[in-house]
Amino acid sequence: MTMPTTREVLIQLDNVGKRFATEDVETHALQNVSLTVDAGEWLAIEGPSGCGKSTLLSILGLLDSPSTGAYRLHGQPVAQLSADDRADARTRKIGFVFQAFNLIADLTVFENVELPLTYRSIGSAERRERVRDALDRVGLGHRGAHYPSQLSGGQQQRAAVARAVAGNPVLLLADEPTGNLDSVNGDAVMSLLAELHRDGATLCMVTHDPKHAMRAERVVRLVDGCVVHER
């Protein structure tokens, strides 16, 4: 993968708000969030529990839509995409890593990594090659036939990272990727993310561990749904 030589804006949020209304309460999960992320950047998002970090990541990942404001991905206003085009953009452009790994228990590691590729028109030979490459990349080339329950937490998260990157996404989103890991495994997963970033991945990572946030190039702090600090 080549590094972009000129600045290329990948993500542009303008005054994004997100409101959740249930029967008796209305929550403003995000308010007036304006944020630009360049291709190839590594951004950390931090803030107290409930401040809107996961909501922000879901919007960036096209899993949810803003209530107000605009999101442009690669210059394209996301609100104008049809449901099919959104789903297509999500599978082609975006890779997710979650705190709880979210591997499917009755699929092997190989099948888990392959699954998102099956939603795309990629032939089975190329699919298998991509899965093998991704598993090699995370140091799990020898674990493809295992089931998630046969792996340690750190290995499961590495498998989840392989699943996220096998499709060559332009944007890698990680929501507290080390939250369920001990510090040794957490550091290993962070080193893996750092390596993917060095290879050109754009990475937006939610974390509440300042040690991990420090490794990012830029840190955005959210409080009560608002960006209060950026460095």
**C-alpha span between 61 and 84 (Å, rounded):** 15
Taking the alpha carbons of 71, 73, 78, 80 in that order, is the dihedral positive or negative? positive
**C-alpha span between 73 and 211 (Å, rounded):** 29
Q: Which of 10, 11, 16, 29 binds ligand ADP (CB under 6 A)?
A: 29
Q: Which of 31, 39, 54, 162 binds ligand ADP (CB under 6 A)?
A: 54
Residue written as tokens 């959740």?
20
Candidate ranges 48-56, 84-92, 117-125, 129-137; the one touching ligand ADP (CB under 6 A): 48-56
Candidate ranges 1-9, 43-51, 130-138, 148-156; the one touching ligand ADP (CB under 6 A): 43-51
Minimal distance in Å, beta carbon 224 to ligand ADP?
9
Contact (CB, 8 A) for 34 and 15: yes
Task: Report the relative pairing of strands 9-21 and 26-38 from DSSP bridges.
Answer: antiparallel
Q: Which of 50, 77, 139, 200 binds ligand ADP (CB under 6 A)?
A: 50
**C-alpha span between 12 and 202 (Å, rounded):** 13
Instruction: State yes or no: residue 141 binds ligand ADP (CB under 6 A).
Output: no
Instruction: State yes or no: residue 52 binds ligand ADP (CB under 6 A).
Output: yes
Q: Please, which residue, 53 or 137, has the CB nearer to ligand ADP?
A: 53
Instruction: State yes or no: residue 61 binds ligand ADP (CB under 6 A).
Output: no
Q: Tokens for 17? A: 């708000």
Binding mask 9-48 for Mg ion (x = CB under 5 A): ----------------------------------------
- Tell me the residue length of the chain: 231
**C-alpha span between 39 and 15 (Å, rounded):** 21
Applying CB under 6 A, which residues contact ligand ADP? 20, 22, 27, 29, 47, 49-55
